[in-house]
Amino acid sequence: INAESFFQNAHRKIFDAVVALYDTNTPVDAITLTEALKKRGELDAVGGPEYIITLMEYIPTTAHLDSHLKIVKEKSMLRDLIATSTGIVNRCYQETVDTAVVLDEVEKKFFELTQRGLKEQLI
């Protein structure tokens, strides 16, 4: 997954900060994460230290990390499917739409989504 896999912008910022801490072999806890977000100027944007503490209390361990990651991936894929489908519907309502072109676009977009889904299953 990556930051874009998350629906809320705050969670994207938190994810990026966690990855940055991980990349520097810094343990991730409420204090280090709060400080990292503060240095980035993003602490208030994510809900402040109170929200970080709430997240840490809500998910105190990585015991079920694989299950949590699967949920994030699936929800991200569903949001992408919704966005793609909405774009297709809007495209179909255009007065000068070329059906063959739209069908080709649909096939390409859904193929890309399918490939991404398959790739993520292998990781």
The per-residue pLDDT for range 7-57, each reduced to its tens digit, is 999 999 999 999 999 999 999 999 999 999 999 999 999 999 999 999 988
pLDDT value for 9: 95
Q: How far is CA 95 from CA 35, 85, 99, in A?
A: 53, 18, 11
Of 78, 89, 88, nearest to 109 by C-alpha is: 88
Is 97 a residue whose pLDDT tops 80?
Answer: yes
Q: 10 Å Cβ neighbour count for 123?
A: 7
Instruction: Answer whether residue 114 shows pLDDT above 90.
Output: no
The set of residues, in sequence order, having a beta carbon less than 8 Å from that of 37 and lying 6+ positions away, is: 13, 14, 17, 43, 46, 52
For residue 78, pLDDT over 60 is answered with yes
Q: What is the mean pLDDT of residues 56-70?
A: 83
For residue 55, the one-letter residue type is L
Q: Which residue has the higher pLDDT, 28 or 117?
A: 28
Chain-wide mean pLDDT for the chain? Answer: 90
The pair of three-digit structure tokens given for residue 73, joined into one six-digit string: 């991936």
Q: Which amino acid is at 63?
A: A
Report all structural domains of the chain as residue ranges with CATH numbers, in order of start.
3-58 (1.10.860.10), 65-122 (no CATH)
The answer to whether 26 and 19 have CB atoms below 8 angstroms apart is no
pLDDT at residue 43 in the model? 97
